[in-house]
Structure 1
Amino acid sequence: MLNPHESSPTCGNPIQKAQSNKDLHITLIGTGTIGLSFAAFHLSHILGPSQLTIYDTRPDVTQYVEENISNFFETPPSTASISNIRIAGSLEVAVEDAHVIQESGPENLEWKMKLWEEVEKHAPKDALLWSSTSGIPASQQAQNMKDKSRLLVVHPYNPPHIMPLLELVPSLETSEQVIQRTQDFWSKRGRVPIHIKKETTGFVANRLAFALLREAIHLVNEGVVSVGELDQIVESSMGPRWAVAGPFKSYHAGGGPAGLEGFFTNIGGTVQEYWRDAGTVNIGDGWEDKVFRQANETYGTVDINERDGITRRLLEVLEEEKGKRK
């Protein structure tokens, strides 16, 4: 059973001290897919008397979490692990003794602005405040806060209990200390926190992914390939390649001894032709019926568990191989 609470002692200890004492209090706001995925990750890294608190306004939150949290574990979580979850009955109780407060709520600017305004009133002064937003900058979310230096976007790559990447996207006012403490937190837990130096629409990972998606839609819409064939091309070429080396490292290697410069010296003209011919599809242009129909005919309902299991194993193999080469 989960542990519903209405009150708890206030604790203002810095996160570093809490970690060394194995008494880290993490509060998650929101129990959607991302929120529960983060909950699963944090549960698997909780030590000793550490506490995971969940706050959500849905009336059946306790039952909902009990019924769904196990879906995010490769094997069923232990009773001891689940007992570390505390369901808070109010936002004030949820955040009052937290060292880390992470929201995964609606993608709604007004909602987030009001949330952080309230969190700031009740949370310890040194608590880390993170937003899992997919695209609302910290500078906009923090507009109602008195101390805007506290808020940091920590954008995961779905699902965060499996995928290592976390994009740390500060506003111009976010403090360097908050960024560093956040990097330390995730690095110690085997994650890959990348400091994104400038707020930009969609951050970085999604910009790259959606650029490929746009070209994929263009090629399918033009009748060059089908949805299934395009996925086979990616899964049989750049997919495994990019799991080992990103585009810069890949093409730096492709240039031989001269590296990336050599690559562009050799085929820069061809690359430019590809860029010039890039697809320019837009939402609502009319490609939707064709592409959506092919996706449904090819895949139906995707088995998420199969996807996650293969992804987890792939990451394990990559880690094993990297370890052999150190």
Structure 2
Amino acid sequence: MEHPPDLKITLIGAGTIGLSFAAFHLSHLSHLSASHVTIYDTRPNAESYILESLPQFYGTHSPPLLSNVRIATTLEGAVSGAHIIQESGPENLAIKQALWAEVEKHAPETALLWSSTSGIPASLQAQDMTDKTRLLVVHPYNPPHIMPLLELVPSPDTSPNVISRTEEFWRQRGRVPILVKKEITGFVANRLAFALLRESIHLVDSGVVSISDLDRIVESSMGPRWAVAGPFKSYHAGGGPAGLEGFFNNIGQTVQDCWDDAGKVNVGEGWEQKIFSEAREVYGAVDTGERDRITRRLLDVLAEEREKGRRK
């Protein structure tokens, strides 16, 4: 995907996800002096909030020049002339439908239109658009200025050209865009994470383990393992020469017993007060700076080791 020397990226919404994306894009515009990131947000103190908050996303890294940032005061002004328009607004279907219908009126016909939604399909968001082929969900894993994954979730109407241009954009920037073949609630990463969260709540609420010990179990076992290999590759390796089939031949009944006994907790069933209270008592306010610093280092090490493997 060829990018113009004056690449213009517009971000709609200056919440945590929107500003994290801004930090990422700005880091990759440093060699394009004529390029800039435009941010549009409806909060009354948008400009001061954005300019004060953005540097915090770089941690110990030097932030890029904020001269590459433009703060738009109208939606029309934000999207006119943009090559890429990325929405990270509230998780509200009506808001997103109205937003994209308005964006479509003022954005260039060739602009890429992306939604960072955590779970609202592009097919629903695009209902009021004239050209539904233009919209694509580009779902990040938080925080997107650090985490490599982008789930690309097209609607049945999304143009293949939009998908391929988007894939190439992210690959050129060292990210991992994964095409999700069908729209599904929560997409893939969140469904996997929320399945683990549900069983974690069940185990703590049932008195099997404490919150802190459950986290230590994950951090000391599947956490580092899954950073190296996902569940299929991990258990395929665990089955020895017979692979995944051998794994199920060995302990398939135990797997089934755990599936049968999996927690069926649901939101609003009364576990919340106990779980939320224990989480506050154990962790208070989590130091996300430490989280991001360690995550960056972990990803750097993984990239270094995989590069060594490719050279062999």
After TM superposition, the score normalised by the length of structure 2 is 0.97
Deviations 1:34-68 (A, max 9, x none): 00000000000002211111111112111011110
Q: Paired residue for 2:98?
A: 114
Which secondary structure does the structure 1 equivalent of 2:130 belong to? coil
Letter of the 2:123 counterpart: S
What amino acid sits opposite 1:27 in the alignment? T
Partner of 1:50: 35
Shift of 1:261: 0.9
Query: Structure 1 residue 22: deviation in Å?
Result: 2.5
Matched, 1:244 2:228: yes
Gaps in structure 2 of 5+ consecutive residues? none
Distance (Å, rounded) in 1 between the aligned partners of 2:268 and 2:116? 28
1:301-320 equivalent positions in 2, closer than 5 A: 301-320=285-304
Name the counterpart of 2:194: 210
Shift in Å at residue 77 of structure 1?
4.3
Q: Give the corresponding residue for 1:30.
A: 13
Return the alpha-carbon distance in structure 2 between the equivalents of residues 81 and 277 of structure 1.
Answer: 54
Which among 166, 171, 190 is matched to residue 174 of structure 2? 190
Question: Any idea what SS the aligned residue of 1:154 has?
Answer: strand
Once residues 56 and 77 of structure 1 are traced to their aligned partners in structure 2, the CA distance between those partners, rounded to angstroms, is 25
Among 152, 155, 166, the residue aligned to 2:136: 152
Whole-Å Cα distance in 2 between the matches of residues 207 and 109 of structure 1? 20
Deviation at 1:76, TM superposition (A): 5.8
Which residue identity is paired with 2:96? Answer: K
Query: Aligned partners of 1:288, 1:88: CA distance in 2, in Å?
Result: 40
Cα distance between partner residues in 2 of 1:24 and 1:74: 26
Any gaps of 5 or more consecutive residues in structure 1? 1-15
Aligned letter for 1:179?
I
Contact 1:44 1:81 survives alignment (8 Å): no
CA distances 1:132-168 after superposition (whole Å, capped 9, x unpaired): 0011110000001010000000000000000000100
Q: TM-score, normalised by structure 1?
A: 0.93
Distance (Å, rounded) in 1 between the aligned partners of 2:13 and 2:287: 24
Structure 1 residues 175, 127: closer, same or farther in 2, change over 3 A?
A: same
Question: Aligned pair 1:72/2:62, yes or no?
Answer: no
Matched with 1:84 is: 68
Alignment RMSD (CA, Å): 1.0
Query: Residues of 1 paired with 2:272 and 2:97: CA distance?
Result: 34
Q: Does 1:272 align with 2:247?
A: no
1:262 aligns with 2:246: yes
Residues 258-282 of structure 1 show CA distances to partners (whole Å, capped at 9, x for unaligned) of: 1111111111111111100100001
Runs of 4+ residues over 6 Å off in structure 1: none
User: Percent identity at matched positions?
Assistant: 70
What is the count of residue pairs matched by the alignment? 308
The answer on whether the counterparts of 1:70 and 1:76 sit within 8 Å (CA) in structure 2 is: no
